[in-house]
Structure formats: C-alpha cells, structure tokens
Amino acid sequence: MAKRLLCSPNQSDVVSLKFREASSELLTDFLFNFNKRNKDSLNSLSECSGTFKNKRLIEHILLISRELRLDPLAGYHAIELLQRFMVKHLTDLLTTPTPPGAAGEQPRSYEDAIFAKLKDRFPLVVFSCVQLASKMSLHSHMIDNNTAVRFLHSAGHRVSKQTVLESELMVLKGLEFNVNVTNPMTYVEILLEVLGHNEPSIPVDRLYHHCQHVVQFISLQRTAIFDTLLTTTTQCVEPSMEQREKFVTVTEDCMLLGVGVIAVATFILHFRKWKQVVGELSHITGISGRSISEFAHVTLVHIVGTGFPQL
C-alpha cells in the first residue's frame, strides 16, 4: 500500500502519500480483500443505507476533521462509523419492548420521546465517531478527552470528560467494537496504487491530490449526483420506488465510487490519459468501461454544468 508520510510545514500537519513501494503480491491481496469486503457489504445492505450521509452532516464531520487537523481519511472513516452506529442504535431502540413506565403511552409518543432524547445527544455522538476515527489513523492527531472537551466547549456544548468517555464507549459498544471499516478514500488509494504499478506512466501522485477534492465534492453532492445517475441509467424522469431500492447497491458501491473518482480526476488533470486509465480501471476491478464513463460524466456535469458533452 502507499506509504502515508507526515510533514509539518509552518506547523500545519499535512499528510502525503508515496506510491509504488508495495509488491505486486501485496497489492493483489489488498485488492482481493477490498473487493470481497465491498461485495459482502453490498449483499447485506439495510433499508437505511445512506440515511446518515446527507450533505449537511458530511460537511459538519469534514469541517470538524479539518479544524482538528486530522488526515482527511479520518473524516470519511467517521462518516462510515456514524452511519453504521446510528442504524444499529435506532434499530435497537425502536425494537426494544416498551418500558413498564411508558406502557400507557401511544406508540407514536414513545418514538417521539426516543428521537427527542437522541437529538440532544446527537452532536456528541457525531464527535465520538470522529474521535474514534482519529484513533484508527496512525498519522493523525489522536483526539484525547482534553482536546475533545475543549473543542466541544468552543462549539457551545458543555460536557465533561466523563460524558465524552461515556459517549465514546456507547458508540464502541453499538458498533460491537468493529471500527475497522473501509471508506471511499481507502478504495481510491488502493486503486491508485494498483494503477501506478500496472502503468508507471500514469502520474498517480498528482492524481491523488485531485482525487481528494473529487471525493469531497461527490460526498457533499451525493444526493444530486446519484439522482442524476439513476435517471440516466433507468431513462426515467421519475424512477419508481422499486428502481430506487435496487439502485442502493450502486450508491453504496465503494469500488464503483473509487474508479469513478479516479476517472474524473484523470479527465481534469490528464485528459490524454483518460481512455487508458478507464480501460485499466475496468481491467483491475471488472467494472465495465461504460459504467465508469457514465459515473464520471454525471459527476463532471455537476462540477461544470449541464452543457458538458457526453464522454
């Protein structure tokens, strides 16, 4: 895998990657493992997949990560942790038998009480996911409880170290201590590493810088981009509910997102290499060149406007 290098120009921590240092055997193992994890994830999607990946929430997490000078990878990791925790937590809360004291309440009022309580705790839950993600990153500042309390106080949340610790433990338990999850940037990194190994003439180091911006754009414009891709794929202005439900396997496909990000970055940075890169990505992942091109085209339309020509 690419080596993550930490340097500190002007006291500001920056993480860069050094590609082309992994052996072909190691890359093959990583690619196989990532492909399997992606397929396993797509085969076990819940009805709530993507619910906690709306624009404002993603922007909030990425801004926290930037403010705390974390590796961008930690921010995307936190987004995945939050999605998994909230779905599991809400499912547990709403399927737990009604407490004896609430037996006389209407089901709706009991659910409202659950959501009201969760609303008050939600900012801290979000921060706990960022804090856990920082501890999983070897090249970010680890957010300790002192830093957490100072940051939360500066954001207007009066909490104690004990409260921060309890929230972090609650998230950990809710995730069943499984915090080693993949995110879009991890797929981009491994695909760039394989791409650079297979075709040395492709400037993967420069591509990575552009990929970071493309991933951020797609994450923030997620709903608009995938809605356009859905209408393009189905040729329907108003896709049916069944079509939308089936399309979740596309919106949650990290491998497709990874190749799409690299394709967009290549088009912007090195257009002459576009067809070569798309062909190589298709060979690496088994995703058709047409699917990669469609994803890239839709994304570029949202970046530059609707007048963008078909690729």
Confidence of residue 5 (pLDDT cuts 50, 70, 90): very low
Q: What pLDDT is recorded for position 160? A: 94
Confidence of residue 11 (pLDDT cuts 50, 70, 90): very low
Q: What pLDDT is recorded for position 140? A: 60
pLDDT in tens, 141-169: 789 999 999 999 999 998 999 999 999 99
Q: What pLDDT is recorded for position 118? A: 82
With 80 as the cut, is the pLDDT of residue 61 above it?
A: yes
Report how far Cα 221 is from the mean position of its chain's Cα atoms. 13
Question: What's the rounded mean pLDDT across residues 4-19?
Answer: 50
Confidence of residue 18 (pLDDT cuts 50, 70, 90): confident
44-80 burial, b for 16+ CB within 10 Å, e for fewer?
eeeeebbebbeeebbebbbebbeebebbbbbbbbbbb
Question: What's the rounded mean pLDDT across residues 21-28?
Answer: 85
Confidence of residue 1 (pLDDT cuts 50, 70, 90): low
Q: What pLDDT is recorded for position 116? A: 81
Q: What pLDDT is recorded for position 97? A: 65
N-term to C-term CA, the chain: 31
298-309 burial, b for 16+ CB within 10 Å, e for fewer?
bbbbebeeeeee
pLDDT in tens, 108-143: 676 777 778 888 889 999 999 999 999 987 656 789
Report how far residue 89's alpha carbon sits from residue 41's, in angstroms, rounded to the nearest whole number.
19
Q: What pLDDT is recorded for position 99? A: 58
pLDDT in tens, 237-272: 888 899 998 999 999 999 999 999 999 999 999 899
Could you tell me whether strands 3-7 and 14-18 are parallel, antiparallel, or unpaired per DSSP bridges? antiparallel
Give, in order, the Cα–Cα distances in Å from 263 to each of 201, 226, 284.
16, 16, 13
Amino acid letter, 44: S
pLDDT in tens, 276-293: 999 999 999 999 999 999
Q: What pLDDT is recorded for position 141? A: 74
With 60 as the cut, is the pLDDT of residue 209 above it?
A: yes
* Every domain of the chain and the residues it spans: 1-44+183-311, 56-174
Query: Which CATH number fits the domain 56-174, given the four candidates 3.10.50, 1.10.472, 3.20.20, 1.10.10?
Result: 1.10.472
